[in-house]
């Protein structure tokens, strides 16, 4: 858990496009990373798309959709760097 949590944080800090790929790994994220730590870090760094992907990879699809819905309704520019284009 500690290693995967550290990898997620490193990918965020490096603004790596591989973050999304890592979050879409077959292993359930809630079993390989410290969910509370990762969620807090992604919120702190405004990585909301990555947060939604993390929730989805953890099997929490409702929270994933809630994150995307809140971002869509907030009226704020949505660009955490994790969506290409």
What pLDDT is stored for residue 85 in this prediction?
A: 39
Tokens representing 79 are 């660009």
Query: Residues 57, 28: contact at Cβ < 8 Å?
Result: yes
pLDDT of residue 40: 95
Residues of the chain scoring pLDDT < 70: 26-30, 75-85
Six-digit token string for 32: 């390989």
What is the structure's pLDDT at 38?
Answer: 92
Mean pLDDT computed over every residue of the chain: 83
Q: Tokens 């990918």 belong to which residue?
A: 11
> What is the reported pTM?
0.78
For residue 76, what pLDDT is reported?
Answer: 58
Q: Is the separation of the CB atoms in 54 and 23 below 8 Å? A: yes
Of 16, 54, 14, give the one whose Cα is nearest residue 35. 54
């Amino acid at each position: 858990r500690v290693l995967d949590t550290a990898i997620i944080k490193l990918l965020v800090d490096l603004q790596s496009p591989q973050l999304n790929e890592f979050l879409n790994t077959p292993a359930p994220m809630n079993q390989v990373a410290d969910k509370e730590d990762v969620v807090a870090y992604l919120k702190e760094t405004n990585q909301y798309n990555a947060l939604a992907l993390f929730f989805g990879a953890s099997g929490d699809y409702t929270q994933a959709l809630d994150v995307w819905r809140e971002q869509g309704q907030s009226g704020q520019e949505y660009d955490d760097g994790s969506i290409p284009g």
